[in-house]
C-alpha cells in the first residue's frame, strides 16, 4: 500500500471518528433503560453550575434554640465535606441567621431526590467487630490531634466521651479486647483501630497504622464534626434559577463558539494549511473534553469555564510551539518531512515541561482544595491531558496525512525569500539556532520593566489603602467572600430577573448581585453584601413600590460567606504548595534552582498585578476570583517555561554566548510564539467579555489582564530576574 492511499484511509477514519464524536456530543449516546432507549452523556447532559443554570436550594435548621457559632460552622464544614464526597464540588453552604444552613446544589432538577441523597443529620457511628453500633457522635465530647515522642508515628487522635459514652465504651472495650472497632461517618469507614486496653475513664487514643500528622488532624476533624449536639432538619427545599440570569448560559455558549471560530481563523491565516491541521485537532480536542465532562459528571460553572479556557489556550499554544520549530527547521534548508521530525523532537521538551508544571498545580489544587477549587482542578487536569494527546499525536497524524496528500507544503510555512535570507546568514558563519530574528535588548532594559511593574503594584496598594481607610474595604468583597443579607421575596406576579437586578444594583451599588428565581413560583432569592438598616429598608421600599408588595412578602436574614475561611486557607495553601512543586520540578529539569525561582517570581508578579486590578477597578471578589488567579498562574508558568526551555537549548548550541545575549536571543526567538499564543487565548476570553452578562464581564476582564501580564512577565521579567541571579560572563556576540 503506497503512502498516498494509506494517508487517504487514515484521513477518512479521522473524519469518520470526529463526526461520530460530534454527533455523540450533540444528540447524546443511546442507552437502554427500563426497556426504553434514552440519551445519556453529550452536551445536553452536562451539569451546569448555580451561576449558569441554578439547581436545588435546601434550608436546614438546627433542632436546638441556641447553637453556638462554632457549632454552626462545624455543621457547615461537615455538610461541605459530604457534598464534596458526592461530587457536588460547586455547591454552596452558608448559614442564615443563627440556626439555619442553606445548601445550594447545582445541576440537580429533583429537589426531593437531592434531599434524600444529601440527608439531614451527620451520622458518626462506632461499631464493634460484629457490626453492631454501640455509640454515635452525640456521645463524643471532643476529638483532637495530639503529638509526642512516646506515640507511635509521633502523632495520635485523642477522644473524650460523655458519661453515657464512657460507660458504654468501657463495656465494649472489655468485651472486645484485641479486636477492631470501626468508626463510620455517613456510612463511610474513616478509621478501624484495634482495642488494646480496657478504657474506663472515657478517654481513648487512636494511633498507629499509617497515621500521619495530616491524617490525624483530618480524623480528629471528622469525628469532631460528627459529634454535633443537635440535628439538622430540612424545613424547605426549592428549585432555583441561574444566579447570572436566564441569558447567561446562552450568551456564554454564543461567545464561546464565536471565540473558538476566531481562534480557528487566526491559526488558518498565520499558519495556512498547517493551521488548518491544528484547527481540526482543536475541534477534536473540544469534542473530547465536552464528552468527558458529561461522562464524568463534572459541573460546568465560571471556574470550570476558566479551566477550559486555560486548557484550550495551552492546546493552541502547543501547536504554535511545534509549528514555530518546524518553521525554523525549514528555514535552515531542511525538507518538510525532515523539518517535521526535528521540529516535533525539539518542541517536545518545552511542551512536556509546560504541561507537567501546570498538571502539578492541578493535582495539588484537587488534593488540597475544596468545592469550586476542586472543580477548577478537575477541568484543568482533563483539559491538559487531552491537549497533550491532540497536539502530540492527532495534529501530527493529520499533518502527515495531508502532507502525503499534497495539501501541506513547505512554501505554506515560510516564503522562499525568507528561506534564502536565512541560508545566506548561515553561510556567513552564524552558529545555530539561526532564524530571521534579531536579538532584542531585553535584559538591558530590565530597569524600565521593573519600574513599570512596581508602578502598577504601588498604584494597587494606594487604591487598597484609600478604600480601606475610607471605610469601603481594601477590596470589593462579594457576598460569597464577606457574607451579607439574604432576602426571599414573594413578588406575587411574573417578573424578570433583570428588573430585580437593576433595582438591587441601584440601591446597594453592587455590580452583580445574586438574584435567583425560585422556579415554579413568583418568589425570588436575593443575596447582597452586608447592608445597614437604611439600605435594607430602601430596597424593600423600592421593590414594594415596583410590585405593590406588603411587608409580609419579605423575609430576610444574615448569611455567612460561601467562601469560608477554611476554603480560603485551603486555596492559599494549595497555590503555595503548587508553586513550591513547580519550583522543585523546574529546578530539577533545568538543573538550576535560580531558573525555578525566577519562573515562580514571575508568577507571583502576575498574581499581584491581577490582585491590584481587582483593587483599582473594584471588581467583586467571589468564587470566580480564585479561578482567575489560578488561570493567570497557569498561563504565566506555561509561557515562562517555553522561554527557559529555549535558553537551555541555546546554552548547548551557543555555549560561548554571554548570559545577556543568551536570554535576549532565546526570548526573541520565542517572541512570535508568545505573541500568537497570547492573541489566540485573548480572543476567546474577549468574546466572553463583549457578549457576556455583567458578572461574566467581571470574570473575564481580570483574566484578560492576567493573560497580557503573563506574556509580559515571561518575556520581560523572568529572564531578567534569572540574569540578576547569575554572574555575567564575558560578552560574546553572534556573527563574525
Domain of 64?
47-121+233-240
> What is the model's pLDDT at position 728?
47
| Residues 66, 128 within the same domain | no
pLDDT of residue 735: 36
Pick the range with the lowest mean pLDDT from 96-100, 370-374, 383-387: 370-374
Whether omega for the bond prior to residue 433 falls within 30 degrees of 0, making it cis, is yes
How confident is the model over 523-542, as pLDDT tens digits?
999 988 888 889 989 999 99
Same domain, 644 and 690: yes
pTM: 0.78
- pLDDT at 19 exceeding the cut of 90: yes
Query: Would you state the pLDDT for residue 554?
Result: 92
| 433 pLDDT tier (thresholds 50, 70, 90) | very low
How far apart, in Å, are the Cα atoms of 619 and each of 101, 431, 532, 614, 625? 28, 50, 21, 5, 9
Q: Quick check: is 38 in a domain?
A: no
Q: Name the strand (E) or helix (H) holding 124.
A: strand 124-127
Residue 41 lies in a domain: no
Residues 490 and 508 in one domain: yes
Tell me, yes or no, whether 285 and 328 share the same domain: yes
Let me know whether 573 and 460 are in one domain.
yes
Q: How confident is the model at residue 708 (pLDDT cuts 50, 70, 90)?
A: very high
Same-domain status, 79 and 188:
no
**How would residue 245 be classed by pLDDT, with cut points 50, 70 and 90?**
low
Picking from 539, 559, 579, the residue at the C-terminal end of a domain is: 559
pLDDT of residue 366: 85
Cα distance between residue 594 and residue 597, in whole Å: 5
Same domain, 303 and 392: yes
- What is the per-residue pLDDT across 279-320, written as a single tens digit (0 to 9) for each? 999 999 999 999 999 998 888 887 777 777 777 887 888 899
Q: Can you tell me the distance from the alpha carbon of 87 to that of 183, in angstroms, rounded to the nearest whole number?
A: 22
Beta-sheet strands, E only, within 294-412: 299-300
Q: Which of 240, 273, 303 is the last residue of a domain?
A: 240
For residue 524, what is the domain's CATH number? 3.30.70
* 354 neighbors 314 (Cβ within 8 angstroms): yes
Q: State how far the Cα of 526 lies from the Cα of 586, in Å rounded to an integer.
A: 47
Number of other residues whose CB lies within 10 A of the CB of residue 266: 17
Which range is most confident: 17-21, 111-115, 481-485, 681-685?
17-21
Residues 197 and 251 in one domain: no
Band of pLDDT at residue 576, cut at 50, 70 and 90:
confident
Residue 585, in any domain of the structure: yes
Q: Is the pLDDT at 705 greater than 90, yes or no?
A: yes
User: Is the separation of the CB atoms in 711 and 671 below 8 Å?
Assistant: no
**pLDDT for residue 140:** 86
Asked if 287 and 25 count as a contact pair (C-beta separation under 8 A), the reply is: yes
CA distance 568 to 664: 39
Q: What angle (nearest 5°) sits at the alpha carbon of residue 54, between those of residues 52 and 58?
A: 150
Q: Can you say how many angstroms the Cα of residue 565 is from the centroid of all Cα atoms in its chain?
A: 18
Average pLDDT over residues 185-191: 81
Kindly state the average pLDDT of the residues 537-563. Answer: 90
Residue 198, domain CATH: 3.30.1360.200
Measure the CA–CA gap between 339 and 408, rounded to whole angstroms. 13
Q: Please, are residues 65 and 77 in contact by the beta-carbon 8 Å criterion? A: no
Q: Which of 116-125, 451-460, 655-664 has the lowest mean pLDDT?
A: 116-125
Q: What is the pLDDT of residues 397-431, one digit of tens each?
A: 999 999 988 888 887 777 666 666 656 655 655 54
**Position 399 in a domain:** yes
Residue 40 falls within a domain, yes or no? no
What count of residues does the chain have? 736
pLDDT band at 730 (very low <50, low <70, confident <90, very high): very low
pLDDT one-digit tens code per residue, 487-514: 999 999 998 888 898 899 899 888 778 8
pLDDT digits (tens, 9 = 90+) for 469-491: 988 889 988 888 888 888 999 99
Higher pLDDT, 417 or 717: 717
Give the mean model confidence (pLDDT) for residues 238-247: 78
**pLDDT at site 152:** 82
CATH for 290: 1.20.1640.10
Of 220-234, 258-272, 589-603, give the lowest mean pLDDT range: 220-234
pLDDT of the residue at 733: 40
Residue 477 placed within a domain: no
Select the more confidently predicted residue: 17 or 428: 17
Residues 115, 129 within the same domain: no
Query: What is the pLDDT at residue 416?
Result: 62
Q: Which of 207, 240, 273 is the last residue of a domain?
A: 240
Mean local confidence (pLDDT), 4-14: 91
Angle made by CA atoms 13, 15, 21, in degrees to the nearest 5:
100
- What would the pLDDT profile of 34-93 be if each residue is shown by its tens digit? 777 788 888 888 888 888 888 899 999 988 888 888 788 878 877 887 787 777 888 888
**Gap between the Cα atoms of 324 and 321, Å rounded:** 5
Q: What is the residue-averaged pLDDT of the chain?
A: 85
**Structure confidence at residue 311 (pLDDT):** 77
Do 661 and 633 fall into the same domain?
yes
Q: For the sheet with 182-185, list strands across it.
A: 133-136, 124-127, 182-185, 188-191
Same domain? 93 vs 199: no
Closest C-alpha among 29, 99, 96 to residue 61: 99
Q: Is residue 218 situated within a structural domain? A: yes
Whether residues 351 and 406 fall in one domain:
yes
**pLDDT of 465 over the 50 cut:** yes
**Is residue 513 in some structural domain?**
yes
Q: What is the pLDDT of residue 431?
A: 44
Query: Among residues 438, 419, 427, which one has the least CA distance to residue 336?
Result: 419
- pLDDT band for position 620 (50/70/90)? confident
**How many domains is the chain partitioned into structurally?**
5
> Which residue from 521, 26, 616, 55 is spatially nearest to 287, judged by alpha carbons?
26
Amino acid at each position: 500500500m503506497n503512502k498516498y492511499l494509506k494517508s487517504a484511509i487514515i484521513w477518512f477514519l479521522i473524519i469518520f471518528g470526529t463526526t461520530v464524536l460530534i454527533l455523540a456530543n450533540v444528540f447524546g449516546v443511546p442507552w437502554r433503560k427500563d426497556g426504553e432507549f434514552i440519551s445519556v452523556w453529550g452536551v445536553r447532559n452536562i451539569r451546569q453550575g448555580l451561576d449558569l443554570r441554578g439547581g436545588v436550594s435546601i434550608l436546614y435548621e438546627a433542632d436546638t434554640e441556641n447553637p453556638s457559632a462554632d457549632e454552626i460552622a462545624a455543621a457547615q464544614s461537615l455538610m461541605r465535606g459530604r457534598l464534596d464526597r458526592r461530587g457536588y464540588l460547586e455547591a454552596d453552604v452558608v448559614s442564615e441567621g443563627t440556626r439555619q444552613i442553606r445548601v445550594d446544589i447545582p445541576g440537580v432538577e429533583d429537589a426531593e431526590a437531592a434531599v434524600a441523597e444529601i440527608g439531614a443529620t451527620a451520622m458518626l457511628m462506632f461499631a464493634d467487630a460484629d457490626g453492631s453500633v454501640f455509640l454515635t457522635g452525640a456521645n463524643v465530647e471532643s476529638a483532637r490531634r495530639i503529638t509526642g515522642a512516646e506515640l507511635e508515628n509521633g502523632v495520635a487522635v485523642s477522644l473524650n466521651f460523655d458519661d453515657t459514652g464512657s460507660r458504654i465504651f468501657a463495656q465494649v472495650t472489655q468485651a472486645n479486647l484485641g479486636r477492631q472497632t470501626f468508626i463510620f461517618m455517613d456510612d463511610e469507614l474513616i478509621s478501624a483501630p484495634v482495642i488494646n486496653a480496657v478504657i474506663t475513664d472515657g478517654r481513648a487514643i487512636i494511633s498507629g497504622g499509617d497515621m500521619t500528622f495530616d491524617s490525624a488532624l483530618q480524623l480528629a476533624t471528622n469525628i469532631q464534626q460528627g459529634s454535633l449536639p443537635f440535628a439538622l432538619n430540612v424545613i424547605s427545599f426549592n428549585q432555583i434559577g441561574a444566579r447570572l440570569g436566564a441569558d447567561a448560559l446562552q450568551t456564554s455558549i454564543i461567545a464561546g463558539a464565536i471565540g473558538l471560530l476566531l481562534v480557528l481563523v487566526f491559526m488558518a491565516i498565520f499558519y495556512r494549511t498547517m493551521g488548518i491541521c491544528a484547527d481540526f485537532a482543536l475541534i477534536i480536542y473540544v469534542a473530547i473534553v465536552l464528552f468527558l465532562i458529561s461522562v464524568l459528571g463534572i459541573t460546568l460553572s465560571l471556574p470550570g469555564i476558566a479551566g477550559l479556557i486555560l486548557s484550550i489556550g495551552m492546546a493552541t499554544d502547543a501547536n504554535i510551539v511545534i509549528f514555530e520549530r518546524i518553521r525554523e527547521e525549514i528555514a535552515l534548508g531542511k525538507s518538510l518531512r525532515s523539518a517535521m521530525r526535528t521540529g516535533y523532537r525539539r518542541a517536545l521538551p518545552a511542551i512536556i515541561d509546560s504541561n507537567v508544571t501546570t498538571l502539578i498545580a492541578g493535582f495539588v489544587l484537587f488534593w488540597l482544595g475544596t468545592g469550586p477549587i476542586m472543580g477548577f482542578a478537575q477541568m484543568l487536569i482533563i483539559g491538559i491531558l487531552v491537549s497533550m494527546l491532540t497536539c502530540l499525536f492527532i495534529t501530527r497524524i493529520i499533518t502527515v496525512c495531508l502532507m502525503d496528500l499534497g495539501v501541506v507544503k513547505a512554501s505554506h510555512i515560510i516564503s522562499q525569500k525568507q528561506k534564502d535570507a536565512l541560508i545566506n546568514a548561515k553561510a556567513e558563519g552564524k552558529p545555530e539556532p539561526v532564524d530571521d530574528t534579531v536579538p532584542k535588548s531585553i535584559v538591558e532594559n530590565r530597569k524600565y520593566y521593573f519600574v513599570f511593574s512596581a508602578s502598577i503594584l504601588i498604584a494597587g496598594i494606594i487604591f487598597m489603602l484609600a478604600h480601606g481607610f475610607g471605610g469601603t474595604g481594601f477590596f470589593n468583597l462579594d457576598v460569597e467572600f464577606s457574607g451579607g443579607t439574604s432576602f426571599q421575596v414573594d413578588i406575587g406576579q411574573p417578573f424578570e430577573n433583570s428588573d430585580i437586578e437593576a433595582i438591587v444594583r441601584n440601591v446597594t451599588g453592587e455590580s452583580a448581585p445574586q438574584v435567583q428565581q425560585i422556579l415554579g413560583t413568583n418568589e425570588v432569592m436575593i443575596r447582597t453584601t452586608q447592608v445597614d438598616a437604611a439600605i435594607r429598608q430602601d430596597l424593600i421600599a423600592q421593590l414594594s413600590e415596583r410590585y405593590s408588595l406588603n411587608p409580609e412578602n419579605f423575609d430576610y436574614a444574615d448569611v455567612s460567606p460561601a467562601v469560608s475561611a477554611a476554603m480560603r486557607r485551603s486555596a492559599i495553601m494549595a497555590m503555595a504548595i503548587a508553586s513550591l512543586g513547580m519550583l522543585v520540578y523546574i529546578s530539577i529539569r533545568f538543573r538550576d534552582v535560580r531558573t525555578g525561582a525566577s519562573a515562580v517570581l514571575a508568577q507571583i508578579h502576575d498574581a499581584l498585578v491581577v490582585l491590584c486590578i481587582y483593587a483599582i477597578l473594584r471588581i467583586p471578589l467571589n468564587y470566580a476570583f480564585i479561578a482567575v488567579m489560578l488561570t493567570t498562574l497557569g498561563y504565566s508558568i506555561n509561557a515562562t517555561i517555553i522561554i527557559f526551555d529555549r535558553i537551555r537549548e541555546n546554552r548547548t548550541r551557543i555555549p560561548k554566548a554571554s548570559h545577556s545575549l543568551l536570554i535576549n536571543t532565546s526570548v526573541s526567538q520565542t517572541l512570535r510564539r508568545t505573541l500568537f499564543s497570547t492573541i489566540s487565548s485573548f480572543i476567546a476570553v474577549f468574546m466572553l467579555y463583549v457578549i457576556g452578562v455583567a458578572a461574566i464581564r467581571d470574570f473575564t476582564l481580570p483574566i484578560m489582564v492576567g493573560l497580557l501580564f503573563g506574556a509580559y512577565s515571561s518575556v520581560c521579567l523572568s529572564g531578567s530576574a534569572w540574569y540578576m541571579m547569575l554572574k555575567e560572563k564575558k560578552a560574546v556576540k553572534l556573527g563574525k
